[in-house]
Structure 1
Amino acid sequence: MNSDSAAGSGYWYGPDERLDPPTAVLQALRGYRAAEVATRRSTRDSMGMGETDLLALRYLLRAQAAGERVGPKDLSRTLGITTASTTSLIDRLVGSGHVRREPHPTDRRSLVIVPTAATDSEVRETLGEMHRRMLAVAEELSAEESRVIVSFLRRMADALTEHVERH
């Protein structure tokens, strides 16, 4: 692709001050996404784990906070990985002290996967400051601004989901 055609699109390249408003919004979303990816990479590196491990912990901590029990099949389905990969994932997380396997309280044949208290503390310590800063930015919005942004982001997510489903 030559620089003239790239600069003409504005979305992929081009100075922000020359972008039309819709393209500037997409450019800002790209900037946010890049910052989010860098933050996730930093978090994974500081915790010494891969992306799937971190996603599993996030899911397990949310389920625990909601009072839900998570079994290996739930984890496999949520992460979109095979049962063999789930077993390896759980083995890694047990080995690193991030989760425990416990008997299911009502089904003797089943296990539940439970994040440890140390994991909750580690995630809070690692991500707490970032979440506080993000929340502070969101709290500066008016109720109307929040409504518009939430609506926009949901429609963008729907547009991406529709694209994925078609392809």
Structure 2
Amino acid sequence: MDTETPAGSGYWYAPDERVDPPTAVLQALRGYRAAEVESRRSTRDSMGMGETDLLALRYLLRAEAAGGRMGPKDLSRLLGITTASTTSLIDRLVASGHVRREPHPTDRRALVIVPTAETDAEVRATLGQMHRKMLAVAETLSPEESRVIVSFLRGMTQALREYSEGH
């Protein structure tokens, strides 16, 4: 493979020392994204579940921490999947001992999905070290650096959303 910088930005091919600062930022973002994807894959593998299952647990644990409960319809909406897929997902999570179905506290006809205490402990043990390392890096930033980075990432998020909406 040719190592020379191709015409254009160099975002995809050029080594860091051969690109302009904006392109180096995009390359660093791509490197972060690749590391994040690998980290999530490793977490899913260690917990023996798929990405949607892990995301569902995240939503359920977050709701519980906020003092709320989620039903199957809530999960369907948040995950962007059908009710049939949600039923299969909940069945898997119940069978693996990660969640349980309970009666809704105010609606006799409805159920809520509750993560088990063991799941909370497993997620904390699995992700805790990674989160601590990431937080330690973020804590090295000054308040102004934090504001700049947050503004940049929000702008990138908006750019991607606008692009996606146009296609």
Relative to the length of structure 2, the TM-score reads 0.96
Paired with 2:3 and 2:133, the residues of 1 have a C-alpha distance of 37
The change in CA–CA distance for 1:120 and 1:163 in structure 2 (over 3 A counts) is: same
CA contact (8 A) 2:4 2:14 kept: no
Structure 1: 5+ residue runs without aligned partners? none
Equivalent position SS for 2:163: helix
Tell me what 1:98 maps to. 98
Q: Sequence identity, in percent?
A: 83
Q: Is 1:59 the equivalent of 2:81?
A: no
Distance in 1 between the 2:7 and 2:44 partners? 35
Q: Distance in 2 between matches of 1:45 and 1:135?
A: 23
Task: Describe the SS at the equivalent of 1:75.
Answer: helix
Please report the TM-score for the alignment, with normalisation by the length of structure 1. Answer: 0.96
Take 1:50 and 1:18, find their aligned partners in 2: how far apart are those partners? 38
Residue 11 of structure 1 is matched in structure 2 by 11
Deviations 1:30-86 (A, max 9, x none): 000000000000000000000100110011111111111100000000000000000
Match of 1:152 in 2: 152
CA distance in 2, matches of 1:104, 1:21: 54
The Cα shift of 1:7 comes to 6.4
User: For the aligned residues, what is the CA RMSD?
Assistant: 1.5
Name 2:38's counterpart in structure 1: 38
What is the CA–CA distance in structure 2 between the aligned matches of 1:45 and 1:98, rounded to whole Å?
Answer: 15
Unaligned runs of 5+ in 2: none
> Which runs of at least 4 in structure 1 moved beyond 4 Å after TM superposition?
2-5
Q: CA deviation at 1:120?
A: 0.4
Is the helix fraction higher in 1 or 2?
1
Instruction: Report the alpha carbon displacement of residue 3 of structure 1 after superposing the two structures with TM.
Output: 6.5
